[in-house]
Structure 1
Amino acid sequence: MASKIENEAVFESVLDRLAAGLSLEERVAANKAGADVFKQALHDATPRSDTFYTKGTVHLQDAIVEEIAPSGRVEVGFSAKSQRGYIARFQNDGWVATDRNGKRHKQVPGKHFWEQAEHTSKGRVQEAVKKSLKATLDRKVGR
C-alpha cells in the first residue's frame, strides 16, 4: 500500500488551477461556442422574403447578432440597428390582422422559427459548450 503521493507538487498545482474556477474569458469562450451553433440554426430557420430592400434595410436573416454581456453571457437576437426585431416577433408569434378602420379580421398564424431553432440546436449547443469546457479543463489539468 502506498503511503506517499508521487509528484505531490504537480498534483497540488493542478488542484490549485481547478479551484480557481473559470475565468471570464473561458466562460465567454464556452458560451460563444454554444451561441455560434444556435445563431446558425436561427439563421437557417428564419424566413427570408423575396423582397429586394433598398436604403440599408436588411432581411431578418441578416439582422441576427450576438452580444457578449459583462458577466460572460452571450445572447443571440436581432440587431437594434436593423430595427427588425419587431418584425421577427410578428413573424414568429403571429398577429391579428386589422384593417385601416381598426376592424379585426383573422389571426395570422406565426411561423415559430425561434422555437424551431431552439429545438433543433439544443443537443448541438450543449455539445459545443461541453467541448469548449472540456478543452479548458484539459488545459488546466495539463493534458
Structure 2
Amino acid sequence: MANTIENEASFEAFLDRLADGLSIEDKIAANKAGADVFKQALHDATPRSDTVYKRGTVHLQDAIVEEVSPSGRVEVGFSAKSQRGHIARFQNDGWVATDRNGKRHKQVPGKHFWEKAEHASKGRIQEAVKYSLERAIVRKVGH
C-alpha cells in the first residue's frame, strides 16, 4: 500500500480547477447533503429524556440545527435560541459532580453521542457529498 500520492502536485491542481468550476450554490448543495446525513445521525444518537418540559424548553434532539455560511460551509450543532448546547456538551463529554458546597464527588461518564453519530454516518456523508458533486459536474459538463 502506498504512503504517498503519485503526482500529488498535478492532482492538487486538478482539484483546484474542479473547485473553480463549482459555483457557491454547488458547494453549498454538496455540503448540505453531507450535513443532512449527519444531522439525522446526530438526532438518532442524541439521548432524549422522558421529561415533558414547560415554558418552551426543548429536548436536545429538537434543538439540532444547521447553519450555512456565505463561503459554502455548513455546520451542524445545537441552536443558540434553545440554550441547550451546554447541556449537550455535559451529556456528551461527562462531568465531575459537585455538591452545593463545592466538594467534588464522582466523575459522571459522558455518552459520547456526537462521536457515535460521526462514526456511524461517515461513509454515508461521503456518499451524499459525492453524489451531489457528481450531479453538479454532470450538469456542467452536459453528459
TM-score (norm 1): 0.86
C-alpha distance in 2 between matches for 1:98 and 1:19: 51
Partner of 2:121: 121
Partner of 2:53: 53
Partner of 1:105: 105
Larger Cα Rg: Structure 1 or Structure 2?
A: 1
C-alpha distance in 2 between matches for 1:52 and 1:119: 30
C-alpha distance in 1 between matches for 2:20 and 2:68: 22
Give the deviation of 1:94 after TM superposition.
0.0
The 5 A counterparts of 1:59-78 are 59-78=59-78
C-alpha distance in 2 between matches for 1:140 and 1:111: 44
Could you say if the C-alpha distance between residues 105 and 23 of structure 1 is closer, same or farther in structure 2, counting changes exceeding 3 Å?
same
Give the deviation of 1:132 after TM superposition.
0.1
C-alpha distance in 1 between matches for 2:82 and 2:119: 26
Give the deviation of 1:21 after TM superposition.
1.2
What SS class does the counterpart of residue 34 from structure 1 fall into? helix
Give the deviation of 1:80 after TM superposition.
0.1
Render the CA deviation track for 1:10-63: whole Å, top value 9, x for unaligned: xxxxxxxx6851111110000000000000000000000000001000000000
Percent of residue pairs identical: 83
Which runs of at least 4 in structure 1 moved beyond 4 Å after TM superposition? none
- Give 5+ residue unaligned stretches, structure 1: 1-17
Amino acid at match of 2:64: I
What SS class does the counterpart of residue 72 from structure 1 fall into? coil
Amino acid at match of 2:21: G
How many pairs are equivalent?
A: 127
What SS class does the counterpart of residue 51 from structure 1 fall into? coil
- Give 5+ residue unaligned stretches, structure 2: 1-17
Partner of 1:4: none
C-alpha distance in 2 between matches for 1:117 and 1:19: 28
Partner of 2:86: 86
C-alpha distance in 1 between matches for 2:59 and 2:69: 25
C-alpha distance in 2 between matches for 1:90 and 1:135: 40
C-alpha distance in 2 between matches for 1:20 and 1:90: 41
